[in-house]
Amino acid sequence: MAASRLPPAALSLKQFLQRQKVLCLYRTLLRTIRLVPNEADRQYLTSWARDEFKRNSGAKEEDTIRMMVSQGNLHLQELQRTLQLAKS
C-alpha cells in the first residue's frame, strides 16, 4: 500500500472537523453579536469572545475542545434568546 501523501502537520479527520466546528461557532457568535443594538455592549461582547477563544486556542485534547465548544454553544444560545426577548 502506498505511503500516506499527507504532510506530517496535517490534521486527522476528527481534528479537522473539530477545527471547523470551532471556527463555525466563532463566526456565528460574531454574527449574533453584530445584532446587539447597543454599541458599547457590542464592543464588550466582541472583545470578550475574542479573548475567550484566544485563551483556549492552545488546547490540544479532543475532549477539552469538545467541552469548550459545547460551553460556547450554550453562551451563543443564551445570547440569541436575550436578543429575541429584547426585540419583541
Q: In sequence order, which ranges of 1-88 are alpha helices (DSSP H)? A: 13-34, 39-55, 62-87
Footprint of other proteins on residues 49-78 (CB under 8 A)? 50, 53-54, 57
Give me the least distance between CB of 18 and other proteins, in Å please. 12
Report the Cα 62 to chain-centroid distance in Å.
Answer: 15
Contact between 27 and other proteins per CB under 8 A = yes
Question: For the chain, how far is it from start to end, CA to CA, in angstroms?
Answer: 61
Residues forming contacts to other proteins in the complex (CB under 8 A) are: 19-20, 23-24, 26-27, 30-31, 34, 50, 53-54, 57
